[in-house]
Amino acid sequence: MDTKARIEQILSENPVVLFMKGTPNFPQCGFSARATAILQDLGVTFHSVNILEDQELREGIKAYGNWPTIPQLYIKKQLVGGSDIMMEMYQSGELQEALKN
Partner 1 sequence: MSPEQMIERLKSHFPNAQIEVYDLTGTQNHWEVAVESSAFKGQSRIQQHQSVMAAFGPELKTGEVHALSIKTKVKED
Per CB under 8 A, residues contacting partner 1 are 29-31, 66-69, 79-85, 88
Residues forming beta bridges with residue 81, ordered by sequence position: 73
Shortest spacing between CB 66 and partner 1, in angstroms? 6
Q: Which is nearer to partner 1, 40 or 69 (CB)?
A: 69
Shortest spacing between CB 100 and partner 1, in angstroms? 19
Shortest spacing between CB 34 and partner 1, in angstroms? 10
Shortest spacing between CB 65 and partner 1, in angstroms? 9
Q: Which is nearer to partner 1, 5 or 92 (CB)?
A: 92
Q: Which is nearer to partner 1, 5 or 91 (CB)?
A: 91
Cβ-contact 17, 70 below 8 angstroms: no
DSSP structure class, residue 101 = -
Q: Which is nearer to partner 1, 5 or 63 (CB)?
A: 63
Rounded CA separation 19/29 (Å): 12
DSSP structure class, residue 93 = T
Rounded CA separation 25/85 (Å): 22
Residues forming beta bridges with residue 74, ordered by sequence position: 17, 79
